[in-house]
Amino acid sequence: MEQRLMQDAAWMLLLLAALSSVSGENDRDFIFCGTWRHGNGKALKLTYDLSPGCDVISVSANERSLSVEGRIAASCQRSGEISLGQPGPGSGGQSHFCLYWEPLLDLLLVEVWGKNHTLCFPAGLQGSCCTDLSEKGRGAIAAHGIVNATIKNDIVSYKTLDSYTFYGESIDCKEEFCTEARQGSQNVNMIEETVMRSQAVGNVELPCALSSVIQMNDDFQGLNVTLNALRGLPPDSHPFVYLPPSLKSAGKKTDKVVITVVKDTSLFQNSASADVNDDTIWADVVGISVENEVITNLPEPIKIRFHHPIIPKTHSRTCVSWDTRTDPSEVNWRNDGCWTFQKGQEDTECHCNHLTYFTILVQLENKPVPHLLALTVITSLGCAASTISCVALIIFLNRKRRLKECIHVHQGLAVSLLLLYVLFFLTGTLANVGGEALCVWVGAALHYALLSSFTWMGVEVFHTFWMVYVLFSPSPKPYVWNLIGFGLPAVPVVILLAVGNIYGVRDVFPANDIDNPFKMCWMKRSEQAFLAHYCTNVSMLALLVASGLVMLYLIYRQVRDRDEWRSQSSRTFQGIWGLSVLFGSTWSLSFLNFGVLSNYVLILTCILNSLQGFSLLLRFFLLDRMRRKESGSAQRSSISGSTRQHMLQAHDNNSYRELDSNANGTKKHMAA
């Protein structure tokens, strides 16, 4: 028993030293140190006389004894003396000592020669306590007494005085303790550490938390713990905790477990905001710890059942833990080592293989879309215009027989975009009419059309590179391009259909009315669908945008020094803009949909991408008009030789190839 008390006292010394560095407006602890000048050759003793109250305490010393007397304790009533023995021969007639006072625990101890002597043992957490000890008076200068006295390492006097007197004030100690615990995330574990060392067993109530201290006996076989509700809360709101038998063997240094329910989530301010678009703490925070140990990788998890307000079906819930061992500037909620089990709209059970703080984070599963009605109207009008434009473009390209080498590439892109716009235009209607069964196939078809469109844009990039830089090699046959553009996108779609649980009805929630979502056929809200989205759509789009930008730069570098393009900025703009549309550069806006710009980027993305079919038709119409205009000018010109064409226009006018003639040094352009 004595050894156990000595261990407690040693631990409390460390705790007091740590708490003194983060004390709040009211000092919860008091540390008075000095050098006791007592002389040599005499047996020394420590005397004390303590009683409840909040008045004064005096520390005095002479050649034989060090004395502590006064009324600052909440419940401690003790007096007596402790024999210290004779000082060592190398002491020089003086010894260092410190007095530690922790009013919240009603704990008073004195350290002499590195040994701790507890004068008042912990008596639980005190409500009213005596703190803010301030110096009231000093004794006379003497040959034997206290020299180099300090209070919390601040020097008080270098003189040798026979006594010091301090007085305190009575405050609501628990309230001040909770205030201090709120000062930062690094102080969160103060609650459990203090409760653990209060030597209480059972429930300990604070204004900011309710703790339960559990003793694990040698025959501990697991325990179900139901924590009492805090004052003013319904009895069914308290959490339920199951402690597995393996916790006894994991906690090798202690047999006590502290379970704390923290109602004030402001103690975890680094974690989550109350914004509906962000993760939100939805339940109490429950902390579970054992003394001076880090428990991880339990073979059988602890179980915490939270009772919380109703969580709508549109919200996802996750069991998370707060890692107090992390740097305070980086500490946050994590779901590592925890598994979530939904037990209805008002109950969630967490299974975790470690000990720390736990709670439920809730997030709106489908983030609401601002201005959804306006975006739907814009997209519908754009898709309708692009659908008509794609049909017109296909007819237009079929009539340009002399463009036989490029027509199949442009037509492939027009057909894939036409399929994409038609399916996207009808996806809402089909989702409401056909339900989940039909949406599996419509969602897969829509995904195929999107991938096919991206693939054909990539084919346009590669075909442009081929016609510009590979001058003497024939372009691949049309069936090769068709196999790539229409066949390759079908592979991932078929695989995802075989995997299952990827395509189906997806709800899109308007920000102003999340109870009435817009339904569409697309990928579901699941981990498999999320992974499929990033592996197919996002990765292909990133590759397309990167290759398109590189190709635009290479083409611009080829033509920037040509006189005809320097003098006609409109031609340069039309060429670069036309290829940008052809290469799908407008889809790059999807990567900017975050932060404060998300609303603007979303609107701009809907406008530009829904009108891409119309932009393509406009591009080919302008190029055809430019070609006919320049052809007429060439016929009226008396200058012999071929008309110089810019490489951008050359590609669109069936990819002109430039051949160098070593014989006469003249350049000729051939229409493919």
Those residues whose C-beta lies under 8 Å from the C-beta of residue 371, and which sit 6 or more positions away, are 511, 599, 603
Other Cβ atoms within 10 Å of 267 Cβ, number: 25
Task: Clarify whether residues 325 and 212 are in a common domain.
Answer: yes
- Is there a domain that residue 668 lies in? no
pLDDT of 450 = 93
Rounded Cα–Cα distance for residues 427 and 24 (Å): 60
Task: Clarify whether residues 455 and 570 are in a common domain.
Answer: yes
What tokens appear for 145 in the block? 């007494």
Between 313 and 125, residue with greater pLDDT: 125
Q: Which of 390, 490, 505 is nearest to 445 (CA)?
A: 490
Task: Clarify whether residues 346 and 377 are in a common domain.
Answer: no
3-state SS assignment for residue 294: coil
Rounded Cα–Cα distance for residues 299 and 244 (Å): 9
3-state SS assignment for residue 667: strand
Task: Clarify whether residues 171 and 205 are in a common domain.
Answer: no
pLDDT at 164 over 90: yes
Rounded Cα–Cα distance for residues 339 and 319 (Å): 6
Confidence of residue 474 (pLDDT cuts 50, 70, 90): low
The DSSP element (H or E) to which 349 belongs, if any, is strand 347-352
Task: Report whether 467 contacts 657 (CB < 8 A).
Answer: yes
Between 361 and 4, residue with greater pLDDT: 361
Task: Clarify whether residues 205 and 88 are in a common domain.
Answer: no
Q: Which of 135, 130, 132, 110 is nearest to 120 (CA)?
A: 110
Task: Report whether 29 contacts 16 (CB < 8 A).
Answer: yes
Rounded Cα–Cα distance for residues 219 and 216 (Å): 8
Task: Report whether 256 contacts 274 (CB < 8 A).
Answer: no
Between 21 and 70, residue with greater pLDDT: 70
Confidence of residue 511 (pLDDT cuts 50, 70, 90): low
Task: Clarify whether residues 155 and 279 are in a common domain.
Answer: no
Task: Clarify whether residues 424 and 283 are in a common domain.
Answer: no
Q: What is the per-residue pLDDT across 411-461, written as a single tens digit (0 to 9) for each? A: 898 999 999 999 998 888 898 888 888 999 999 999 999 999 999 988 888
What tokens appear for 461 in the block? 């990039």
Q: Which of 396, 544, 572 is nearest to 460 (CA)?
A: 544
Task: Clarify whether residues 356 and 376 are in a common domain.
Answer: no
Rounded Cα–Cα distance for residues 282 and 272 (Å): 10
DSSP secondary structure letter of residue 300: S
Rounded Cα–Cα distance for residues 183 and 203 (Å): 25
pLDDT at 582 over 80: no
Tell me the CA distances in angstroms from 464 to 368, 469, 581, 650, one per residue in order.
41, 8, 13, 10
pLDDT of 277 = 37
Q: What is the per-residue pLDDT across 593-644, written as a single tens digit (0 to 9) for each? A: 665 567 777 788 888 888 888 888 888 887 777 777 766 655 544 333 332 3
Q: Strands 128-138 and 163-172: what pairing?
A: antiparallel
Task: Clarify whether residues 90 and 158 are in a common domain.
Answer: yes
Confidence of residue 662 (pLDDT cuts 50, 70, 90): very low
Give pTM, 2 decimals: 0.50
- Is there a domain that residue 337 lies in? yes
Task: Clarify whether residues 360 and 382 are in a common domain.
Answer: no
Confidence of residue 326 (pLDDT cuts 50, 70, 90): low
Task: Clarify whether residues 151 and 234 are in a common domain.
Answer: no
Q: Residue 466: what residue type?
A: W
pLDDT of 205 = 79
Q: How many domains does the chain have?
A: 3
Between 342 and 363, residue with greater pLDDT: 342
Rounded Cα–Cα distance for residues 533 and 526 (Å): 10
Confidence of residue 112 (pLDDT cuts 50, 70, 90): very high
Q: What is the per-residue pLDDT across 346-378, written as a single tens digit (0 to 9) for each? A: 889 999 999 888 988 887 655 667 777 778 888
Longest CA pairwise span in the chain (Å): 128
Domain boundary among 345, 364, 383: 364
CATH of residue 443's domain is 1.20.1070.10
Confidence of residue 334 (pLDDT cuts 50, 70, 90): confident
Burial-class residue 172 by CB neighbours within 10 Å (0-12, 13-18, 19+): middle
Give the CB-side neighbour count of residue 107, counting CA atoms within 13 A. 27
pLDDT of 438 = 92
